[in-house]
Chain A
Amino acid sequence: MLSRRCSVCSADASSNRFIARYTTKFKVKSNAIASWLLISFFFLPLSAFADLGFNLPKGVTPVSQNIYDLHMTIFWVCVGIAVVVFGVMIYSIIFHRKSRGAKASNFHESTAIELIWTLIPLGILIAIAVPATRVLIDLENTDKAEMTVKITGYQWKWQYEYLDNGVKFFSNLSKDSRERSEMGKVGDYPDHYLQDVDNRLVLPVNTRIRFLMTSNDVIHSWWVRDLGVKQDANPGFINDAWATIQKPGVYRGQCAELCGKDHGFMPIVVEAKSKEDYAAWVKEQQAKQKAAAAAGDREWSKDELMVQGQKVYSSTCAGCHGVTGQGIPGTFPAIAGSKIATGDVKEHINIVMNGKAGTAMQAFGAQLSDSDLAAVITYERNAFGNNTGDLVQPATIKAAR
Chain B
Amino acid sequence: MATTTSDVQIDIDAHDAHHGPEKGLLRWVKTTNHKDIGTLYLWFAFTMLLIGGAMAMVIRAELFQPGLQLVEPQFFNQMTTLHGLIMVFGAIMPAFVGLANWQIPLMIGAPDMALPRMNNWSFWILPFAGVMLLSTLFMKGGGPAFGWTFYAPLSTTFAPESTDFFIFAIHMLGFSSIMGAINIIATVMNMRAPDMKLMDMPLFVWTWLITAFLLIAAMPVLAGAVTMMLTDRNFGTSFFDAAGGGDPVMFQHIFWFFGHPEVYIMILPAFGVISQIIPTFARKPLFGYSSMVYATASIALLSFVVWAHHMFLTGMPIAGQMYFMYATIMISVPTGVKVFNWVTTMWRGSLTFETPMLWAIAFVILFTIGGFSGLMLGIAPADIQYHDTYFVVAHFHYVLVTGALFSIIAAVYYWLPKWCGRMYNEKLARIHFWWAVISVNVLFFPQHFLGLAGMPRRIPDYATQFADFNMISSIGGFAFGSSFLLLTYIIVSCIRSGEPIEDERVWESAKGLEWTVATPAPYHTFNEPPQKDKILSESSHVGAH
Residues of A participating in the B interface, judged by any CB pair closer than 8 Å = 7, 42, 44-47, 49, 51-56, 64, 66-67, 70-71, 74-75, 78, 81-82, 85-86, 88-89, 92-93, 96-99, 102-110, 113-114, 117-118, 121-122, 125, 128-129, 132-133, 135-137, 139-140, 155, 180-186, 189, 192-195, 217-219, 221, 223, 225, 228-232, 234-237, 239, 253-265, 328, 330-331, 358-360
B388 CB contact (under 8 Å) in A128, A257, A360? A257
- CB-based contact B453/A54 at 8 Å: yes
Given A102-B350, A108-B288, CB of A81 within 8 Å of CB of B384:
no
By the criterion CB–CB under 8 Å, are B376 and A108 in contact? no
Q: Whole-angstrom distance between the alpha carbons of A290 and B249 in the complex?
A: 39
| B241 neighbours in A (Cβ, 8 Å) | 236
- Flag whether B69 is at the interface (Cβ < 8 A): yes
Given contacts A98-B350, A232-B313, are A89 and B364 in contact (CB under 8 A)? Answer: yes
Binding site for A on B (CB under 8 A): 65-69, 72-74, 77, 140-142, 145-147, 151, 153-154, 157-158, 160, 241-243, 247-249, 282-291, 313-315, 318, 321-322, 325-326, 329-330, 332-333, 336-337, 339-340, 343-353, 361, 364-365, 368-369, 372, 375-376, 379-382, 384-385, 387-389, 449, 452-454, 456-465, 467-469, 471, 541-542, 544-545
Minimum CB–CB distance from B478 to chain A (whole Å) comes to 11
In the complex the two chains form, is B346's CB within 8 Å of A93's CB?
yes
A96-B346, A105-B348, A258-B147 given; A331·B333 CB < 8 A: no
- Report whether B321 and A89 are in contact in the complex, using a CB–CB cutoff of 8 Å: no
B67 touches A185 (CB 8 A): yes
Bound complex: CA A86 to CA B289 (Å): 21
Given contacts A44-B65, A47-B464, A260-B158, contact A231 B313 (CB under 8 A): yes
User: Is A258 within 8 A of B160, CB to CB?
Assistant: no
B283 CB contacts on chain A under 8 angstroms: 98, 104
Contacts A/B (CB < 8 Å), 26 sampled? A44-B65, A54-B452, A67-B384, A70-B381, A74-B379, A85-B343, A96-B349, A98-B351, A104-B283, A108-B541, A118-B333, A121-B336, A133-B325, A218-B151, A219-B153, A228-B384, A234-B249, A234-B315, A237-B247, A239-B315, A258-B77, A258-B147, A260-B154, A263-B459, A265-B461, A359-B158
A96-B282, A136-B381 known; 10 new pairs, CB 8 Å cut-off, are A45-B464, A45-B471, A56-B385, A74-B375, A104-B350, A108-B285, A139-B384, A239-B315, A256-B389, A258-B458
Bound Cα distance from A221 to B344, whole angstroms: 44
Cβ-closest chain B residue relative to A102: B350
Residue in A closest to B376 when the chains form the complex, CB atoms = A74
Task: Find out whether the CB atom of B330 lies under 8 angstroms from the CB atom of A231.
Answer: no
Is the pair B349, A104 in contact by a Cβ cutoff of 8 Å?
Answer: yes
B329 contact set on A, CB distance < 8 A = 125, 128-129
A117, closest chain B residue (CB): B340
Task: Contacts A67-B384, A67-B385, A260-B158 given; indicate if A235 touches B153 (C-beta within 8 A).
Answer: yes
In order of increasing CB-CB distance, the 10 nearest A-B pairs are A236-B242, A264-B459, A53-B453, A239-B315, A330-B141, A108-B285, A78-B372, A104-B350, A45-B467, A104-B283
Measured between C-beta atoms, what is the minimum distance from A401 to chain B in Å?
A: 22
* Nearest CB of chain B from residue A26's CB, rounded to whole Å: 20
Is there contact, CB below 8 Å, between B160 and A67? no
* A104 and B545 contacting across the interface, CB-CB below 8 Å: yes
Residue of A85, A99, A108, A230 touching B542 (CB-CB under 8 A) = A108
Cα A81 to Cα B375 with chains together (Å) = 12
A53, A140, A232: the one within 8 Å of B452 (CB): A53
Q: Which residues of B contact A54 (CB under 8 A)?
A: 449, 452-453
Complex Cα distance A266/B158, Å? 18
Instruction: Considering the complex, give the chain B residue whose CB is closest to the CB of A196.
Output: B463
Contact across chains for B74 and A223 when beta carbons are under 8 A apart: no
Q: How far is the CB of B335 from the nearest CB of chain A, in Å?
A: 9
Docked Cα-Cα span, A226 to B479, in Å, equals 35
Contact of A121 among B290, B332, B344, B351 (CB under 8 A): B332
Q: How far does the alpha carbon of A308 sit from the alpha carbon of B70 in the complex, in Å?
A: 33
Q: Is B284 a contact of A108 with CB atoms below 8 Å?
A: yes
What chain B residues lie within 8 Å of A122 (beta carbons)? 333
Taken together as a complex, chains A and B put the C-alpha atoms of A236 and B353 apart, in Å, by 58
Most buried by B among A118, A128, A256: A256
A132 and chain B: residue at smallest CB distance: B379
Q: Which single residue of chain A is at the shortest CB-CB distance from B465?
A: A51
Does B66 contact A193, Cβ atoms closer than 8 Å? yes
Contact yes or no, A139 B66, CB < 8 A: no
**Measured between alpha carbons, how far is A344 from B409 in the docked complex, in Å?**
63
Q: Which residue of B lies closest to A55 (CB)?
A: B452
With the chains together, A74 CA to B243 CA distance in Å?
Answer: 41
Closest beta carbon of chain B to A211's beta carbon, Å: 12
Check if B453 sits within 8 Å of A230, measured CB to CB.
Answer: no
B351, A92: Cβ atoms closer than 8 Å: yes
Docked Cα-Cα span, A56 to B471, in Å, equals: 20
Chain B residues closer than 8 Å to A82, beta-carbon distance: 368-369, 372
Contact of A219 among B151, B372, B376 (CB under 8 A): B151
Minimal beta-carbon separation of A56 from chain B (angstroms): 5
A360 — which chain B residues lie within 8 A by C-beta? 158
CB neighbours of A254 from chain B (8 A): 456
Q: Would A71 and B291 be within 8 Å (CB), given that A88-B343, A129-B325, A180-B67 are in contact? A: no
**Contact assessment for B352 and A98 in the assembled complex, using a CB-CB cutoff below 8 Å:** yes
Instruction: Tell me the minimal C-beta distance from A240 to chain B in angstroms.
Output: 8
**A70 surroundings in chain B (CB, below 8 A):** 379, 381-382
Q: How far is the CB of A50 from chain B (nearest CB, A)?
A: 11
Known: A140-B318, A193-B66. A71 touches B471 (CB 8 A): no
Q: How far is the CA of A88 from the CA of B330 in the complex (A)?
A: 24
Given contacts A98-B352, A129-B326, contact A118 B337 (CB under 8 A): yes
* B66:A237 contact, CB within 8 angstroms: no
Contact A235-B242, Cβ < 8 Å, known A52-B468, A230-B384 = yes
A218 with B158: in contact, given A47-B467, A122-B333, A228-B384 (CB under 8 Å)?
Answer: yes
The answer to whether A264 touches B460 (Cβ under 8 A) is: yes
A219 and B248 contacting across the interface, CB-CB below 8 Å: yes
A106 to B509, CA, bound (A): 13
- B288 engages A96 (CB within 8 Å): no
Residues of B near A128 (CB, < 8 A) are: 329, 379
Q: Report whether B313 and A221 are in contact in the complex, using a CB–CB cutoff of 8 Å.
A: yes
Q: How far is the CA of A110 from the CA of B340 in the complex (A)?
A: 12
Report the bound CA distance from A257 to B154 in whole Å: 11
* The one of A71, A96, A129, A186 that contacts B67, using a Cβ cutoff of 8 Å: A186
Distance between Cα atoms of A46 and B475 in the complex (Å): 14
For the complex, give the distance between the alpha carbons of A370 and B290 in Å.
Answer: 73
CA–CA, A231 to B460, complex, Å? 22
Asked whether A255 lies within 8 Å of B456 as measured between CB atoms, the reply is yes
Bound CA span A210–B467, Å = 34
Give min CB distance, A159 to chain B, whole Å: 18
Which A residues are CB-close (under 8 A) to B389? 256
Complex Cα–Cα for A51 and B544 (A): 57
B residues less than 8 Å from A66 (CB atoms): 381
User: Which of B77, B326, B364, B454 is the most central at the interface, judged by chain A CB atoms within 10 Å of its CB?
Assistant: B454
Complex Cα spacing A360 to B156, Å: 11
* Contact, CB under 8 Å: B325 / A136: yes
Instruction: Kindly list chain A residues whose C-beta atoms are within 8 Å of the C-beta of B330.
Output: 125
Q: Are A218 and B153 in contact (CB under 8 A)?
A: yes
Cα–Cα distance between A81 and B369 once the two chains are bound (Å): 11
Q: How far is the CB of B438 from chain A (nearest CB, A)?
A: 17
**Candidates B140, B290, B382, B464; contact of A330 at CB < 8 Å:** B140
Q: How far is the CB of B511 from chain A (nearest CB, A)?
A: 12
> Which chain B residues lie closer than 8 Å to A125 at the CB level?
329-330, 332-333
Contacts of A132 in B (CB 8 A): 325, 379-382
CB contacts (< 8 Å) of A53 on chain B: these are 449, 452-454, 465
CA–CA, A42 and B474, complex, Å: 11
Residues of B within 8 A of A359 (CB): 158
Q: By the criterion CB–CB under 8 Å, are A232 and B459 in contact?
A: no
Are B544's CB and A181's CB within 8 A?
no
